[in-house]
Chain A
Amino acid sequence: MNSTVRPGSSLVRQLTSTPEFLPFTLVVVLVVTFATLTPNFLSLGNISNLLAFTPELGMIALGMTVLMTSGEFDLSVGSVFGFTPVLMWTLFNQGVMPLEFALVVSLIVAVGIGFVNGWFVTRLRIPSFLVTLGMMMTVRGIALYTTSGFPQRTWRAESWLMDLVVGDFYIGGFRLYASLFWFIGFALVLGYIMTQSKFGNWIQAAGGNPVSARARGVRVSMTKTWLFMLTSFLAAYAGITSSIRVAAANPNSGTGYELEVIAMVVIGGTALAGGRGTILGTVLGVFMLRMMRNGIVLIGVPGLAYNIFIGVTILTMMALQSYLARRHPTGGG
């Protein structure tokens, strides 16, 4: 113990040492900047718009956060996002089963996909990058082949289930979707699991030092497999939500989401290499990237240029995060 600095020496230090500090600051900066540049940014219509789509990517990001904390990641989430609603609506439209059953069956299939990912990674010891890359192509391929590339119609259905998942309602002139509350609910549950539960301790240990975690009797493989299943489940649920909201199940939807979601999670302060993760940070990261896309278009940056902004932001954030992470290793109470 020579030159190491103890935490808690001052309030500023404590603040800057929390991984959520940076994304939170940037969210504030973005809101202020866009609101100053264009009054439309804070209009009810625009906020409502933001809140309609954000929970869908957000739910995938929540799953990815816990999975990445355990030291793995999943590239197949975008494909599962596209495939699951296609399966559900096909089962329903073909008259195989009622919508309620179709929902349950397709979610079970998605969880099964997650289990296969987990099994390949933990039993066959193949890196998750390769396993989930293969799964990404397989699942997308099945979605495209079985539909011949055509979207499945969803408008014939009329069900309480659709309202429960993503029904819209108005508070004054403000339009909200039920999916927002599901997103908040999932975030609260996962936040609890990560910070308060025994399982959460196992998740962080599995990502931080799997060898010693295993030596302590932590069931690392089981933990990771559950998390792959959880991630697939959330991606599937998000996909179903999206298909109901836009009234079509497109076998191509969700393409490229995996990388955007990983960017959101890492910007939020979760370590790409595992061992450290924050649900609050991910929520902030999700809003940050969505707000950037939205705000950049509103202030009139040409559509084709906005990937440049996103890319540069990601790089800057990573640099700042890694600088802060080096200065303040975090532990979790």
Chain B
Amino acid sequence: MATDLIQMKGIAKSYGPVTALDGVDFAVRENEIVGLLGDNGAGKSTLIKILSGTVPATRGDIFVRGKKVQIRNTTDAIALGIETIHQDSALVTQLSIARNLFLGREPTIGPRFLNRMDKRKMNEVAGTLLKEIGIKKDIPATTPVSYLSGGERQAVSIARALHFDSDLIVLDEPTNNLGVEETQGVLRFMRRARDTGHSLIFIAHNIHHVFQVVDRIVVLRRGKVVAEDVDPKQTTIEAVEELITGMAIA
């Protein structure tokens, strides 16, 4: 068997006396979309925060392609090819689309001490990306993100992850607050990302959305993995709901 893209082993996290994660093993293979499910407080966000470098784990190891790594902050995670797109907060709404796409990795031009952004390149690349992700309306790349709808914003975030060739894109509730059509757009986009060689983790409360797009479902309950290889094609939504809540729904 090939090495997994990401492997988290024995991850534990406590906030004071509260145990959020209790020895979780979690893996993402190359080219797959993993649905991470669980009720509120099951530990999904904590697990993702550890992977994206926003909180440190109390115990446990993380491996990227079989190599043990230390993720101390978001910069570390990004350098390892892990992009996390948080719901609502991924973009700076005051900045333009192009400035958001390149935030933190702005290309520069001219002598180094001038620190000058290559705006022409930024706007060009952003324009192409906007077309690629299927925003049909003619939006200039210099438009502030505050003008965009929720679905368009998610699309911009995902486009950013694709452009910078992240191996793993973590989507935290990307379909929250989106309309039906916008949701379909985001799901289509996720499939395209997988088909072009990326892996994705999809966290959502809406199991229907998850079922439409993922290759595998992992279920967390009270800080533990209760199922890690659920094939959405061979199970039902009810069965997964049962796993999430831990009780049979009559």
Contact = CB atoms under 8 A, between A and B. Distances in A.
A45 interface: no
B102 to A, nearest CB: 8
Interface residues on B, range: 35 or more
B95 A198 contact: no
Nearest to B147: A4
Interface string B134-162: 00010110111111110110000000000
Contact of B106 (A1, A8, A201, A329): A201
26 contacts: A1-B137, A8-B140, A193-B115, A196-B116, A196-B119, A198-B117, A200-B117, A201-B103, A204-B95, A208-B94, A209-B89, A209-B94, A211-B89, A213-B92, A215-B84, A215-B90, A216-B74, A216-B104, A217-B75, A217-B104, A218-B103, A276-B94, A329-B94, A330-B144, A331-B94, A331-B146
A4 B117 contact: no
Interface residues on A, range: 20 to 34
Nearest to B138: A6
Interface in A1-52: 1-2, 4, 6-8
A7 B144 CA distance: 9
B94 A197 contact: no
A1 to B, nearest CB: 4
B105 interface: yes
Contact of B117 (A201, A211, A331): A201
B96 interface: yes
Interface of B: 52, 54, 74-75, 78, 84, 86, 89-96, 99, 102-106, 108, 114-117, 119, 137, 139-140, 142-149, 151-152
B116 A204 contact: no
A219 B117 CA distance: 17
Given A197-B116, A217-B104, A6 B143 contact: yes
Contacts of A276: 94
A331 B144 contact: yes
Given A4-B149, A201-B95, A215 B86 contact: yes
Interface string A166-205: 0000000000000000000000000001001111111011
Given A208-B93, A212-B91, A216-B103, A331 B152 contact: no
Given A4-B147, A216-B103, A217-B74, A333 B91 contact: no
A200 B149 CA distance: 26
Given A215-B86, A329-B93, A329-B147, 8 more contacts: A202-B104, A207-B94, A209-B92, A212-B89, A216-B74, A331-B144, A331-B147, A333-B119
> Which residue among A200, A202, A217, A332 has the maximum number of chain B CB atoms within 10 Å of its CB?
A217
Shortest 10 CB-CB contacts between residues of A and residues of B? A331-B144, A216-B104, A217-B104, A1-B149, A208-B92, A329-B146, A208-B94, A275-B94, A331-B96, A198-B106
A205 B104 CA distance: 9
A201 B91 contact: no
B152 to A, nearest CB: 6
Nearest to B101: A216
A218 B99 CA distance: 13
Contact of B103 (A193, A197, A213, A333): A213
A198 B115 contact: yes
Contacts of B151: 1
Contacts of A199: 115
B57 to A, nearest CB: 18
Interface string A294-333: 0000000000000000000000000000000000011111
> Which residue among A6, A193, A198, A332 has the maximum number of chain B CB atoms within 10 Å of its CB?
A198
Interface string A214-251: 11111000000000000000000000000000000000
A209 B93 contact: yes
Contacts of B116: 196-198
Contacts of A198: 106, 108, 115-117
Interface in A267-286: 275-276
> Which residue among A202, A212, A331 has the maximum number of chain B CB atoms within 10 Å of its CB?
A331
B89 to A, nearest CB: 5
